[in-house]
Structure 1
Amino acid sequence: MPTTISLTETQILTVLRSFLLAVLPSGTEVVRGQTNRVPEPIGPDFVVMTPIMRERLATNETNYHDAALTGSATGQTLDVTAVDFGEVVIGAPLYGPGIPAGIYVSSFGTGTGGVGTYNLNAPIAPVSGDLFAGTGQAMQATRVTVQIDVHGPLSGDNAQLISTLLRSDYACQFFADQRSDVAPLYASDPRQAPFLNGEKQIETRWTLDAVLQANPVVTTPQQFAGEVVIDLNPLP
């Protein structure tokens, strides 16, 4: 199975953008920075988001999830008829007699963790019986800093609005309603940084840093021992 991450940079910025659109005056555009051959937004007031730093906050939190199944697989379809324990998750590797290495669950069919069908990443010869699908998960609590460039005639007021609300219960509740793995921590003090546009004209710009906590989980394949056999060797 490929190593997967549960929370991408795009998803983090999507939550932050939703918050900014909700609190800024109507018509204020919010875009991602560092995009080539893209002109400025048309409106006079707009915001540009640029991720600039990721800092580890704690040692990894590691969990393991085993799943024992009964069923069959043929082609690119896994048919689970019983689950002894655990659940089937997307990205979980499939183990069992006759199953080649590198086979994993690519998407749900009729099943969503238990009995039902699932799609595999590649076709395999028919197999049936006891199957296993275990994973390991490592979560790294991360402080993510996003530079917020606030442009336009209202940039000073808008920067004040953003820096105030990012350190409020309103922001915490808003982020929690969007995702459980991203939360606002605080914002830096706004500072003016005039911007020279493509026409060599000075634009008013205020900039600040939005500091968030993100908890992405990296999932890897993991096999488990169903039985341990211990042999005793006599001492000479």
Structure 2
Amino acid sequence: MVKGSRGSATPLYVVTPTEKDIYTAMRAWLLSILPDCMRVIQGQQNRAAAPLDPFAVMTIIARDRIATNGWSYTDTTRVVEEQVKLTMQVSVFGQASSNQMQLITALWRDMEAVDYFRAQPIPITPLYTSSTRQLGFINGERQYEDCWSVDLTMQVNLTVSVPQQFADSLSVDLIEVDTSYPEQE
């Protein structure tokens, strides 16, 4: 990792997994359990029309530290690990959205989700869900549509790689002090 200056293209510190990695992993899990007709998108996207029914929207809504940092070392970096409790709101729109929401909450609290994420490279562990809620949603045609929402809480272990200098060998020379540094009078 190269130490960059402000405005440089090379970042000084890198957080992994990134928010994009988390969204990608969660989208893959949702697509693996929902019917093939469901689309899953990230929320809070500008200038993006909602897909046609049925679809799900994911939005990260909270991050809380849950432990003191841990760390490890490589030859050139100190790797800081932070355990974070991350909450993602998932909303499901369209007919049968209450059934799809029941599927999501049942499997999030099951070994199915734990095993799925354990097999992935992103360090996500499902923890718990909020109560599901029915939201009033009015579409662009001013028609009510079914929309169910839940907050999925997970543990994500984030790492930050901090550049650090290390010595892997030392050169020792003997210097005779009295000769090299005679006493001054």
Note whether the superposition's TM-score is higher than 0.5: yes
**Residue in structure 2 matched with residue 3 of structure 1 by the alignment:** 13
Distance 2:47 2:164 in 1: 44
Distance 2:121 2:70 in 1: 19
Per-residue deviation, 1:27: 0.8
Amino acid at match of 2:60: P
Instruction: State, as a whole percentage, how many aligned pairs show the same letter.
Output: 40
**Residue in structure 1 matched with residue 182 of structure 2 by the alignment:** none
For structure 1, which segment, 25-34 or 196-205, has the greater mean C-alpha deviation from structure 2 after superposition? 196-205
SS in 1 for 2:25: helix
Size of the aligned set, in residue pairs, is: 163
More helix per residue? 2
Amino acid at match of 1:184: P
- Extract unaligned runs of 5+ from structure 2: 4-11, 173-185
**Residue in structure 2 matched with residue 52 of structure 1 by the alignment:** 61
**Residue in structure 2 matched with residue 28 of structure 1 by the alignment:** 38
Per-residue deviation, 1:227: 4.0
Q: TM-score, normalised by structure 1?
A: 0.65
Per-residue deviation, 1:228: 9.4
**What per-residue deviation string (whole Å, max 9, x for no partner) do you get for residues 183-227 of structure 1?**
211222211011122222221100000111111110011112444
Per-residue deviation, 1:3: 0.9
Amino acid at match of 1:214: V
- Aligned ranges for residues 157-168 of structure 1 at < 5 Å? 157-168=99-110
Amino acid at match of 1:59: T
SS in 2 for 1:175: helix
8 Å CA contact 2:21–2:122 kept in 1: the answer is no
Amino acid at match of 2:45: T
Distance 1:178 1:63 in 2: 22
- Extract unaligned runs of 5+ from structure 1: 67-133, 230-236
The CA RMSD measured in Å over matched residues stands at 1.9
Distance 2:171 2:72 in 1: 21
8 Å CA contact 2:17–2:122 kept in 1: the answer is no
The match for 1:61 among 70, 79, 91 is 70
For structure 1, which segment, 152-161 or 172-181, has the greater mean C-alpha deviation from structure 2 after superposition? 172-181
**What per-residue deviation string (whole Å, max 9, x for no partner) do you get for residues 8-48 of structure 1?**
01111111111111111121000000011111112x21100
Q: TM-score, normalised by structure 2?
A: 0.82
Distance 1:190 1:177 in 2: 27
Per-residue deviation, 1:150: 0.8
SS in 1 for 2:30: helix
